[in-house]
Amino acid sequence: KQEVTQIPAALSVPEGENLVLNCSFTDSAIYNLQWFRQDPGKGLTSLLLIQSSQREQTSGRLNASLDKSSGRSTLYIAASQPGDSATYLCVGAGNQFYFGTGTSLTVIP
Amino acid sequence: NAGVMQNPRHLVRRRGQEARLRCSPMKGHSHVYWYRQLPEEGLKFMVYLQKENIIDESGMPKERFSAEFPKEGPSILRIQQVVRGDSAAYFCASTRTGPYEQYFGPGTRLTVT
């Protein structure tokens, strides 16, 4: 059974720091991996999608990588801002969607 | 290109009433997923539908809950005889073809009094 774990569960950093969120999955048979953010009381906003044939994707200050062989994905956030404070979820797509456990990020002004 | 739409955004029901939640997928998407999020918890899969078909309902409670996605119109999640424990945020997501890139709606927050 696919399990998706995110480390750390919570992270608090001062504004301006670069940071890395980790996502690991137990079964490499995924088609793609998608990163989302969820703000309190809101829905999920898609950040980046990495196909299984890709190694990374970039959007602005965000960079996501995928290493299927090791069962890992990372989300790199450069020059963090208070507006980045949210819960970040990785979701793997195989026969169904597999949701990560989430990382709650707080960026302190 | 409108995103995934859900209505109502907020719904208040008394115990024993019925709740109907609607989800209109993105244009060109014919697959809909429903999720439930209890306060301070993660999203839990409920049901996966394609037009006129239920593909996977393994996450649906056995009683009181049903879902449909008719040929025309939005997908409907129906909860009969609501109880306080049904209070949650219900999200739907749509994809073009099966478990590919998901787009989420803003959610419906159900409160049962």
A62-72 pLDDT, tens digit each: 999 999 889 99
Chain B contact set for A99 (CB, 8 A) = 42-43, 45
pLDDT at A38: 95
Average pLDDT of the residues of chain B:
94
Chain B contact set for A45 (CB, 8 A) = 104
Q: Encoding tokens for residue B67?
A: 């879902």
Q: Encoding tokens for residue B88?
A: 């949650």
Q: What does the DSSP 8-state code read for residue B85? A: G
Q: What is the DSSP string of chain A?
A: ---EEEE-SEEEEETT--EEEEEEES----SEEEEEEE-TTS-EEEEEEEETT-SEEEETTEEEEEETTTTEEEEEE-S--GGG-EEEEEEEESSSEEE---EEEEEE-
B25-34 pLDDT, tens digit each: 999 999 999 9
Q: Is B107 left (phi over 0), alpha (psi -120 to 50) or beta?
A: left
pLDDT at B1: 54
d(CA A105, CA B17): 38
CA distance B73 to chain A (A): 22
| pLDDT band for position B98 (cuts 50, 70, 90) | confident
